[in-house]
Homo-oligomer: A and B are copies of this chain.
Amino acid sequence: MKTYLDCYPCFMRQALQAARFADIDEAGQKRILLSVMSALESMPDGASPPTMAREIHRLVREIGGNPDPYRTVKVSSTEHALTWYPVLRERIDAADDPLDMAIRLSIAGNIIDLGASVDYDLEESIDRVLSQPLAIDGTAELRRRLGEVSRVLYLGDNSGETVFDRLLIETMDVPVTYVVRGAPTINDATRQEAIEAGLEAVAEIIDNGSDAPGTLLETTSPAFRERFDSAELILAKGQGNFESLSHVDAPIAFLLQAKCSVIAGELGVDEKSLIVKSPGN
């Protein structure tokens, strides 16, 4: 997905928010905004939004001198999500259609996205995914493919959301390789946060070698690329993975909430819509 002009003010807002989150002083905040503007001026046509988001969070780490400013909030997001784990595990196990419920709950977890908004209401998100119809519903096709493949490549997204991914992985009944970012970027999960969510017990964990908040293939490692290219089915969580992979020809099912007007417009749905976009959808 290309970067729309509506993303420009949003990048500026995100950069300022991230700089303040990282306790960077006003002079540093201004340096970051000026650098973001300079990067926007030279951004190649067709670059996807995570290209710029990667730059923003690099700047925040460099200028703030903190390699992982979101570490504390990633820990607390995971801990908070883990308090939900037992009750959600029970609800899934008792459901008429556990896979459907687990898919929906994995989308609920996608609300924990500090790029889209620093305030999120996890309980509201859980209630909503269990009652709201999917705006794009590729569940049947996803279910069919899950029954056919020998392994799923699962592209994770935010810390905390990882716990909801774990619930889905436990329910899917197929071996999973769970992919995390190669280095900290905003609140996205790295190997450390995936382990803290308990994913090591249910999936092979690999990293993609990149610090983009999405999956910008050109920035990932050859080892990840090999797994990606040979995957029978890829589950991609969240906006960043959608923005960076929507144009890629691969067997990808996208699971996300459409949290901004640009993504909603790209998908032809309303904001806050729930999406299961399977290959062929």
Contact = CB atoms under 8 A, between A and B. Distances in A.
A237 to B, nearest CB: 27
Contacts of A33: 5, 8, 40
Nearest to A40: B37
A12 interface: yes
Nearest to A13: B9
Nearest to A15: B9
B10 A16 contact: no
Contacts of A62: none
A16 B9 contact: yes
Interface of A is mostly: helix
Contacts of A6: 16
- How many copies of this protein are present in the complex? 2
Given A37-B41, A40-B37, A16 B26 contact: no
Interface centre among A33, A37, A38, A41, by most chain B C-beta atoms within 10 angstroms, is A37
A16 B12 contact: no
A37 B8 CA distance: 10
Contacts of A37: 37, 40-41
Interface in A1-56: 5-6, 8-10, 12-13, 16, 26, 29-30, 33-34, 37-38, 40-41
A228 B178 CA distance: 68
A56 B40 CA distance: 18
A34 B40 CA distance: 8
A30 B5 contact: yes
B16 A5 contact: yes
A26 B8 CA distance: 13
Interface in A262-278: none
A30 to B, nearest CB: 6
Contacts of A34: 40-41
Contact of A8 (B5, B12, B41): B12
Contact of A9 (B10, B26, B38): B10
A38 B37 CA distance: 8
Given A9-B13, A37-B41, 13 more contacts: A5-B16, A5-B29, A5-B30, A5-B33, A6-B16, A8-B12, A8-B16, A9-B9, A9-B10, A12-B12, A33-B40, A34-B40, A34-B41
22 contacts: A5-B16, A5-B26, A5-B29, A5-B30, A5-B33, A6-B16, A8-B12, A8-B16, A8-B33, A9-B9, A9-B10, A9-B12, A9-B13, A9-B16, A12-B12, A33-B40, A34-B40, A34-B41, A37-B37, A37-B40, A37-B41, A38-B41
